[in-house]
Amino acid sequence: MKWLKNIFGAGKAEGPVGVSLHEMEAWLGEREEQAAFAERMAAIYSRVEPLQKAFSQDIADLESADPDGSAPPKLLRAGMAARGELVKQLLSLEEKLSPPAKRDAESVYQHHWSVLKGLERTVTTFGRAQRYVAALFPKSIETINSDLGKISRLLVEMEELIGKNRKLQEESWYCRELAEGLKKGRAAGEELRRKVGEGQAELGRLKTNLSGLEGELSRLAESEKGRAIEQIKERLAEVEQDRSRNGEELAGLLSPLSKALARIAKQGSSDRLALQHKDVLSRLLADTSRVQDAEISGSLQELRVHLAALGLKDRKKEKTLDHIDLLIKERSLEKAKARQSALDEEISILEKQLEEGSREGKLLKEGIVQAKRELKSLEAALAQSEKDLASLEDRARADESELNERLARIANKPVKIELEG
């Protein structure tokens, strides 16, 4: 395996050690095995037993030792009391020295912490009692002090080994997390690249389709059928203008009668006047288009008959009467209505022709609108996918760089993670 060759051939290799992503777990395992934490801790623990045994004996010697008989009574009482307190604390520390039953990392960490705290409390007690106890049992205190020094040095060794192992475990954990993130990121990146590729192919297809539709629409507009449709549009615009002008003329013919029509409609609805053409007169006022040509003359005649009863001022009445006579004589309303009907009919025919002739063009335009909508949506989706891909790649580069740094700290030499292979 490449990583094994890199490890055992490191002295000859130049540049960073290469470790493939899928072999990194085995590489980390090998580094953890090389650290040999359990074996090194076992070596330290093998020195604990004789030290603990000697320490236990020294505590027993202190506890059973006879004080200096020449000591003053006050010092004697204080020294004996202090010895009892010190022995109690020393025994507690001695008990804590026993190596843990389990030798996993967490158990080792807990044991070290327990002994360290026990030593701190013992040193505190020792510091308070030393003055009195040393005066009575100088040799025992000297021996105990030596034992505490040995325990302290042993704890320093443990702490150094534990610190290295904690660091290795921490770096290994981060390496595994980063490696897992890289794997997922690479998979997500591959999927995004596939989607982007498919999207770009679809984008090309849509652009080709849109270009084809626009070409068809352009050819249709230039064809004989397209020119005929334009002619229909032009004629329709002319007829609509004629209809608008005729509508204004029709409104102008009825405008002088508006007051008279309003009053006769009001009196007719209140039954003050018995009108034969009441409904027609109301429609003339409201909507001329609903009045038939044959109804106009009779309704105007009836308006003329009842004009005097509408309460118009003399001058207004005379003008209205003259206008009614003119309309009746020249049949102006009928003619304007006839022109309006003819224009409406032509507009209807032209609109139908335009609708039928424009069906193909309409379908092409709808296709163009839909293609542009799909094109815009796909372009937005592609832009987002490309943005997401760039973000993934940036993240992957940062994770790869961090992983290389952490692996280098574990190996104590430059390491380069190999994503391929």
Confidence band for 1, pLDDT divided at 50, 70 and 90: very low
Cβ-based neighbours of 176, under 8 Å, separated by 6 or more: 24, 25, 28
**How many other C-beta atoms are found inside a 10 Å radius of the C-beta of residue 222?**
10
Highest mean pLDDT among 263-277, 291-305, 350-364: 350-364
From 357, 391, 406, give the residue that closes a domain. 357
d(CA 386, CA 390): 6
Q: Which residues contact 125 (CB under 8 A, 6 or more apart)?
A: 85, 86, 89
Q: Which of 194, 215, 234 is the last residue of a domain?
A: 194
Is 260 found in the same domain as 129? no
| pLDDT value of residue 7 | 39
Q: How far apart are CA 228 and CA 251, in angstroms?
A: 34
Domains in the chain, number: 2
Cα-based distances in Å from 75 to 18, 79, 123, 129, 143: 71, 6, 21, 12, 21
Instruction: Please name the amino acid found at residue 222.
Output: E
Residue 66 domain boundaries: 17-194
Q: Residue 161's pLDDT is what?
A: 87
Instruction: Answer for the pair 203, 375: CB distance below 8 angstroms, yes or no.
Output: yes
For residues 278 and 329, membership in a common domain is answered with yes
Q: How far is CA 153 from CA 52, 116, 192, 250, in A?
A: 14, 11, 58, 119
Tell me what pLDDT residue 5 has.
44
Residues 155 and 27 in one domain: yes
SS3 annotation, 244-296: HHHHHHHHHHHHHHHHHHHHHHHHHHCCCCCCCCHHHHHHHHHCHHHCCHHHH
Give dist(CA 29, CA 24) in Å, integer.
8
Encode pLDDT of 346-388 as tens digits.
889 988 988 887 788 888 888 989 998 999 998 999 999 989 9
Residue keyed to tokens 């118009």: 312
Residue 258 confidence (pLDDT) above 80: no
Say if residue 247 is in the same domain as residue 296: yes
Q: Which of 304, 322, 357 is the last residue of a domain?
A: 357
233 and 151 in a common domain: no
Q: Are residues 27 and 149 in the same domain?
A: yes
Same domain, 309 and 174: no
Do residues 185 and 396 touch, judged by C-beta distance below 8 A?
A: yes
Are 229 and 119 in a shared domain?
Answer: no
CA 54 from centre of chain: 67
Q: What pTM was estimated for this model as a whole? A: 0.56
Nearest-angstrom CA–CA distance, 303 and 308 = 9
C-alpha to C-alpha distance for 88 and 273, rounded to whole angstroms: 131
Q: Would you state the pLDDT for residue 167?
A: 87
What does 339-364 look like in DSSP terms, one character per residue? HHHHHHHHHHHHHHHHHHHTHHHHHH
Work out the angle at residue 165's Cα, subtended by the Cα atoms of residues 159 and 170, and round it to the nearest 5 degrees: 125
pLDDT, tens digit, for every residue of 234-254?
988 999 998 889 888 888 877
| Beta strand 415-418 pairing with 17-20 | parallel
